[in-house]
Amino acid sequence: MTLSWIDGAPADSLSLTDRGLAYGDGLFETILVKTGVPLLFERHLQRLASGGNRLALALELPLIERECRAFAAQLGEGVMKLIVTRGDGQRGYAPTPGAPARRILQASPLPAYPPANSVQGIRLFPCRTRLAEQPLLAGLKHLNRLEQVVARSEWSDPEYAEGLMRDTTGRLVEAVYSNLFLVKGGMLLTPDLSRCGVEGVMRAELLDMAEQMNMPVRALELRMSDLQRAEEVFVCNSVYGIWPVRALEQLNWPVGPVTRKLQNLVRQLLDI
């Protein structure tokens, strides 16, 4: 049986009345594990707590932390996915008041990404799928990922490692499973995510890194014109770190010094 726990015990099946299954009513975190230790774990827990507050999920954070650390120790090395749902419910959207959250942990091996993604950079696919605006859910890593599923189905060519996603007005938001950064005029820029998108753990780490290095950094509304004028472009997440972006359609960028500097710092952080 694949390593998986539900509510702290080994299990490989889920109740049919779980609201995560029925409505996507919950949150998740994807956590890199090395030598039995969950990396960037405090940031993952902070994001989970913030999401739990906004969705009014009854999260037992000390219990979740203990279970995650024990699960990671058993996994050793790989990727740990933590899912919390509102638990079981009856038919209908109204949640049961005070229902305890269900805790699901799943393990998978480290993904075998091509080394060229980090060294030479990647080509982005221009996704047609647009992200809908919903400020209430913006930033959360909630369980409804249908927009990303549809966007990822748009390409099968291995030449593309990621896809660029915009919102319905054309603003830049993120990549399908990564956050987006631009370097322009010596400033580090990333899209504002107050309307839609996921506030990634690695994104937060990089924003803090930049401030500590006295590097000008801003999260703001960005459009394709900003991408066209960018000097460097890269994407990031908490599993692979940083991938430079070398091309999007007819646009091309070098793997620049800011990207390399941050990439080296993240490589040390994630031991990759």
Per residue in 12-68, pLDDT (tens digit) is 999 999 999 999 999 999 999 999 999 999 999 999 999 999 999 989 999 999 999
For the annotated catalytic residues, the residue numbers are 30, 141, 174
> What is the distance between the alpha carbons of residues 15 and 198, in angstroms, rounded to a whole number?
28
Is 60 exceeded by the pLDDT of residue 1? no
What's the confidence (pLDDT) of residue 90? 83
Which of 111, 11, 7 minimizes the C-alpha distance to 59? 7
Task: Provide the residue ranges of all domains of the chain, joining segments of one domain with +.
Answer: 4-108, 116-270
- Global pTM reads 0.95
Q: What is the CATH number of domain 116-270?
A: 3.20.10.10
> What is the distance between the alpha carbons of residues 76 and 123, in angstroms, rounded to a whole number?
32
Please, which residues bridge with residue 104 across strands?
Answer: 6, 83
> What is the distance between the alpha carbons of residues 219 and 97, in angstroms, rounded to a whole number?
37
CATH of 4-108 among 3.40.50.920, 3.40.50.300, 3.30.70.250, 3.30.470.10: 3.30.470.10
Which of 198, 200, 194 minimizes the C-alpha distance to 266? 200
Per-residue pLDDT tens for 132-172? 999 999 999 999 999 999 999 999 999 999 999 999 999 99
CB proximity list for 158: less than 8 A, separation 6 or greater: none
Per-residue pLDDT tens for 85-104? 999 988 889 888 778 899 99
Q: At what angle do helices 41-55 and 201-212 cross, to 10 degrees?
A: 120
CB-based burial label for 238 (10 Å; 0-12, 13-18, 19+): buried
What's the confidence (pLDDT) of residue 91? 86
